[in-house]
């Protein structure tokens, strides 16, 4: 899952070298924390949240095939959720 999100996000942002992805999860739920350059957050979210919703939809599709629930969170520099 981490590699899947990393591939998508790195192709959307201007600073792919600053993309950090962390997986936190238990047995049935996986939380993916995404940290990008501050100037790239808008590119990830998109107009009216369309881009992030599309990424989440793709991620949920892949996760359902593996029998896992997944949640994608965008983090700000201080580690808090940006949404």
* Cα 27 from Cα 10, distance rounded (Å): 27
Tell me the whole-structure pTM to 2 decimals.
0.83
* Nearest of 10, 12, 2 to residue 42 by alpha carbon: 12
Which residues on neighbouring strands pair with residue 35, listed in sequence order? 20, 75
Residues 28-64: pLDDT tens digits?
Answer: 889 999 999 999 999 999 999 999 999 999 999 998 8
User: Rg of the chain's alpha carbons, rounded to an integer?
Assistant: 12
User: Is the pLDDT higher at 81 or at 55?
Assistant: 55
Which domains does the chain carry? 2-75 (3.30.300.20)
End-to-end CA distance of the chain: 21
């Amino acid at each position: 899952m981490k590699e899947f999100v990393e591939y998508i996000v790195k192709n959307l942002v201007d600073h792919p070298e600053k993309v950090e992805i962390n997986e936190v999860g238990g047995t049935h739920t996986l939380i993916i924390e995404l940290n990008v350059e501050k100037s790239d957050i808008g590119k990830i979210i998109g107009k009216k949240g369309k881009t992030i919703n599309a990424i989440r939809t793709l991620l949920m599709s892949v996760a359902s095939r593996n029998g896992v629930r997944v949640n994608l969170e965008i983090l700000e520099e201080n580690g808090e959720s940006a949404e």
